[in-house]
Amino acid sequence: DAMVIQNPRYQVTQFGKPVTLSCSQTLNHNVMYWYQQKSSQAPKLLFHYYDKDFNNEADTPDNFQSRRPNTSFCFLDIRSPGLGDAAMYLCATSRDLPKLAEPHNEQFFGPGTRLTVL
């Protein structure tokens, strides 16, 4: 089955210790997104890749970086995690970006990685 896979499902790191979360997709979608979701809140978009084109949200801290080495994989790097970065991190994909003729923006989410910062 085509899907969005995230590894690991649970990640524990220490304050200030760099951590990398990974996402892979078998949907062959052009767009990959990273969201941060804190408890009982809606997901918050950090950035997205349209093919190799990186798009950062204005309020995403510099502490968060991303890499997309190929169509299938995308990584979220947190350079110096703080206690406030503890959250669920969700990866999502969409076939393309919405256009006037095709305005829908169906995004398919992975199961998420729960990050704990000690």
Binding site for another protein (CB under 8 A): 4, 6, 31, 33, 40-43, 45, 48, 50, 55, 57, 88, 90, 92, 94, 97-100, 102-112, 114
Q: Which DSSP string do the residues of 15-42 spell out, in sequence order?
A: TT--EEEEEEESS--SEEEEEEE-TTS-
Q: Of the two residues 17 and 67, which places its CB atom closer to another protein in the complex?
A: 67
Q: Least Å distance between CB 14 and another protein?
A: 23
Least Å from the CB of residue 77 to another protein: 20
For the chain, the residue count is 118
Residue whose CB is less far from another protein, 15 or 54: 54
82: part of which helix (H) or strand (E)?
none
